[in-house]
């Protein structure tokens, strides 16, 4: 895969004080020598904490909400070359209970980013999506599906301008806020952990892997792609065995909007997807997209779908324990 192209670039990350955003900023400053990194987020305390932890003159902070179109324009006019869009309302129960708020942030906020990027002549915009956007069973997944569609077809709105839009779609992130690992670690102290359904499987990726994948996709993207990494699956009871092996498991029943298994590529998407050694690339279906110069990849077989229960890569208990130790040490 191509090397990164962020050297001497100004990169803005929305949601830059979230789990992904902080790891992305640290990695960018340490390894990729950007000209500037702009953190765009709503929480002034988290910005203060990050500024204290990373006293780097290349780091700049913008207080703002992606719902605020004018503020995005102001931030993007600061000579931004690349935008990574990681801001979202992502807690499934919260989105179900506050649907208007989820739509305003995850969908209308995405539209604001697209308009601002085109008008401010940003070169590349890469948005973070989720496996929950595939055949969504909850409002969060539905809003991320809409976001993906907006970003893919934002390339049509760009017209003759050079702004390019693409998406990255991956699964659960080890140790991110709202992840099941912090929940299990807390429950372990009581001797009892709760599991909604013993059959449940999920795709699994670390923050570091997610950040490196995003950086690689920024270099590779042309316009309109949805990039999907090849990542392993895990069974929920294997995770319990890794985190809390001596605890009693209480089965609470599957929650509204929750799936037994997640899908990263649907059967219908597979028809216009190409396979590579470490990733899949879902191409836009529109025949108007220029395919010249794109990596060819391997077409997927008829009926293929990429789901957590039929994956050919599975994490062992030992591998899960290694991931958990790294997360626990990093958050201590």
pLDDT above 60 (res 332): no
pLDDT at 2: 40
Q: Using one digit for the tens of pLDDT, what is the confidence trace for 119-150?
A: 999 999 999 999 999 999 999 999 999 999 99
Helix-, strand-, coil-residue percentages of the chain, each rounded to 5 = 40, 20, 40
Helix (H) or strand (E) holding 73, with range, is helix 69-76
pLDDT tens-digit readout, 59-115: 999 999 999 999 999 999 989 999 999 999 999 999 999 999 999 999 999 999 999
The full set of domains in the chain, from first to last, is 10-171+207-230+265-302 (3.40.50.720)
Greatest pairwise CA separation for the chain in angstroms: 61
> What's the CA angle centered on 86, arms 63 and 206, to 5 degrees?
130
Q: What residues are annotated to the active site?
A: 132
The whole-angstrom separation of Cα 316 and Cα 24 is 27
Decide: 32 and 56 in contact? Cβ < 8 Å: no
pTM value?
A: 0.94
């Amino acid at each position: 895969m191509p090397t990164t192209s962020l050297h001497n670039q100004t990169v803005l990350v929305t949601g830059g004080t979230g789990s992904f955003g902080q790891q992305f900023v640290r990695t960018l400053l340490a390894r990729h020598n950007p000209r500037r990194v702009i953190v765009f987020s709503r929480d002034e305390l988290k910005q203060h904490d990050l500024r204290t932890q990373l006293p780097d003159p290349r780091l700049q902070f913008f207080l703002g909400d992606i719902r605020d179109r004018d503020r995005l324009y102001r931030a993007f006019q600061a000579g931004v070359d690349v935008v990574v869009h990681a801001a979202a309302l992502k807690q499934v129960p919260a989105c179900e209970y506050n649907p208007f708020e989820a739509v305003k942030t995850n969908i209308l906020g995405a539209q604001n980013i697209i308009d601002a990027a085109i008008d401010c002549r940003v070169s590349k915009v890469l948005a973070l999506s989720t496996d929950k956007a595939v055949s969504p069973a909850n409002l969060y997944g539905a809003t991320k599906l809409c976001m993906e569609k907006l970003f893919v077809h934002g390339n049509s709105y760009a017209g003759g301008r050079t702004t390019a839009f693409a998406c990255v779609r991956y699964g659960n992130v080890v140790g991110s806020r709202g992840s099941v690992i912090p929940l299990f670690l807390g429950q372990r102290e009581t001797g009892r952990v709760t599991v909604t359904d013993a059959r449940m499987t999920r795709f699994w990726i670390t923050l570091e892997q997610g950040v490196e994948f995003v950086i690689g996709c920024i270099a590779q993207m042309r316009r309109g792609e949805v990039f999907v990494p090849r990542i392993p699956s895990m069974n929920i009871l294997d995770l319990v065995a890794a985190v809390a092996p001596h605890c009693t498991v209480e089965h609470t029943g599957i929650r509204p909007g929750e799936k037994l298994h997640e899908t990263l590529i649907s059967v219908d998407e597979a028809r216009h997807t190409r396979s590579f050694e470490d990733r899949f690339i879902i191409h836009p279906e529109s025949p108007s997209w220029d395919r010249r110069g794109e990596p060819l990849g391997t077409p997927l077989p008829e009926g293929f779908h990429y789901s957590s229960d039929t994956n050919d890569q599975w994490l062992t208990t030992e591998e899960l324990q290694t991931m958990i130790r790294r997360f626990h040490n990093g958050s201590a």
